[in-house]
Amino acid sequence: MTLKRIGILFGMEDTFPWALMNEINSRAAKSGEEIEAGPVKIGHIAQEQSYPEAVILDRISHEVLFYRTYLKCAAARGTQVINNPFWWSADDKFFDNIVAQAAGVAVPKTVLLPHKQHPPNTKETSFRNLQFVDWDGVFAYLGFPIFLKPAYGGGWKDVYKCDDREGFFSAYDQTRDLAMMAQEAIDFTDYYRCYVVGREKVHIMPYDPKQPHALRYEAAAGTPVPEAMAARLTRDSLALCEALGYDLNTCEFAVRDGVPYAIDFMNCAPDADVHSVGAANFDWIIGAMADLLMERARHPRPFEATGTWPRQLGLA
């Protein structure tokens, strides 16, 4: 048997990557299996090169585009890359809401808006196709308050809660050339973040987004999740990740009148820092990811362009 390498590609994170590599290496040492985890090493990328990793876990290519290309090329040579770098390059939060609807998951009413400012290298004449937005129609459809947030974003940046027209336009004026979604605010009684691993395992974490960042998990920890809600969150999280083809994700849900609305479920490199998620959630994600990465090293899956959404939308 030849040695199978599991590479972790990561950035500023200090806890999760190292603990995951240690977990995999100590499991392999115990069982004698020829699997080894370590950081991916990248210099320049040559067209003819081969890729030493059987599996790569990507935690950073959304911030380092050069790495994204490494991952696509590695996938083209047979490396199992988690998450799929092709599909992650293609989707966005607004499109993913349409996928969610096709997968039978409730999402808030949402519209996508044109950029407030001209993107680089464009001017007025670049927008011959663009019509004025029917703002009255948008506000009548969504109702206030409205969340304004980037379709291609994450990390709670450029997210605004707007209580009225005036607040909305003063927020929109600050959004530069981002493509923003305007979304019905869900006035929630409960909020959950779910780790979803391998489109198979779901770990539900009560979460209180109204607390300061450092307390969001801690403040809600220990809140019991009613059985029927746990079943629904599990079903919906799996349906989303199956449809989108993501092997590691967090799906966030806000519950209104007993219905979990999917708020944010395109978190392909989700926060897994022990200092924010807490020890119990951290242990869960380390264990589940070690299982997944080792399993993919043993049993690679055939290449797939994306998840099951083309079938669910009746296109394939």
Ligand X SMILES: Nc1ncnc2c1ncn2[C@@H]1O[C@H](COP(=O)(O)OP(=O)(O)O)[C@@H](O)[C@H]1O
Task: Decide: is 260 part of the binding site for ligand X (CB under 6 A).
Answer: no
Query: Where in 272-291 is the site for ligand X (CB under 6 A)?
Result: none
- Name the residue nearer to ligand X (CB basis): 54 or 272: 272
Q: Does 252 bind ligand X (CB under 6 A)?
A: yes
Residue 149 within binding range of ligand X, rule CB under 6 A:
yes
Instruction: Determine if 255 is a binding residue for ligand X (CB under 6 A).
Output: no
Residue 2 in contact with residue 33, Cβ under 8 Å? no
Indicate the residue among 70 and 94 with the shorter CB distance to ligand X: 94
CB of 115 to ligand X, least distance (A): 18
Name the segment binding ligand X (CB under 6 A); options: 42-50, 154-162, 196-204, 222-230. 154-162
Between residue 246 and residue 265, which ones bind Mg ion under the rule CB under 5 A?
264
Q: Judging by DSSP bridges, how do beta strands 110-112 and 180-184 pair with one another? A: antiparallel
Q: How far is the CB of 213 from ligand X (least distance, A)?
A: 11
**Residue type (1 letter), 53:** E
Backbone dihedral angles phi then psi of residue 210, each to the nearest 5 degrees: -85, -10
Name the minimum Å distance from CB 278 to ligand X.
17
Question: HSE-up of 87 (CA within 13 Å, CB side)?
Answer: 24
270 counts as binding ligand X under rule CB under 6 A: no
Q: By 3-state DSSP, what share of the chain in percent is helix, strand and coil, each rounded to 5?
A: 35, 20, 40
Neighbours of 134 (CB within 10 A): 11
The binder of ligand X chosen from 91, 236, 264, 271 (CB under 6 A) = 264
Near ligand X by CB under 6 A: residue from 114, 119, 155, 258:
155
Contacts of residue 37, defined as CB under 8 A and 6 or more positions apart, other chains included, come to: 5, 6, 7, 8, 20, 21, 24, 25, 28, 293
CB burial string 242-266: b at 16+ within 10 A, e below? bbbbbbbbbbbbbbbeeebbbbbbb
Q: Within 13 Å, how many C-alpha atoms sit on residue 223's CB side?
A: 19
Residue 247 CA from chain centroid, whole number: 10
What tokens were used for 270? 């989700």
Q: Which is nearer to Mg ion, 91 or 264 (CB)?
A: 264
> Does 154 interact with ligand X (rule: CB under 6 A)?
yes
CB of 70 to ligand X, least distance (A): 25
Task: Find out whether 108 and 183 touch, Cβ atoms under 8 Å.
Answer: yes
**Angle, CA of 231, 258 and 308, to the nearest 5°:** 50
- The interface partner of residue 149, options being ligand X, Mg ion, none and the CB cut-off 5 to 8 Å by kind, is ligand X
- Residue 206 interacting partner from Mg ion, ligand X, none (CB closer than 5 to 8 Å by kind): none
Stretch that binds ligand X, among 15-23, 152-160, 166-174, 295-303 (CB under 6 A): 152-160
Residue 265 near ligand X by CB under 6 A: no
Give residues in contact with ligand X (CB under 6 A). 108, 147, 149, 153-156, 159, 183-186, 209, 252, 254, 263-264
Give residues in contact with Mg ion (CB under 5 A). 264
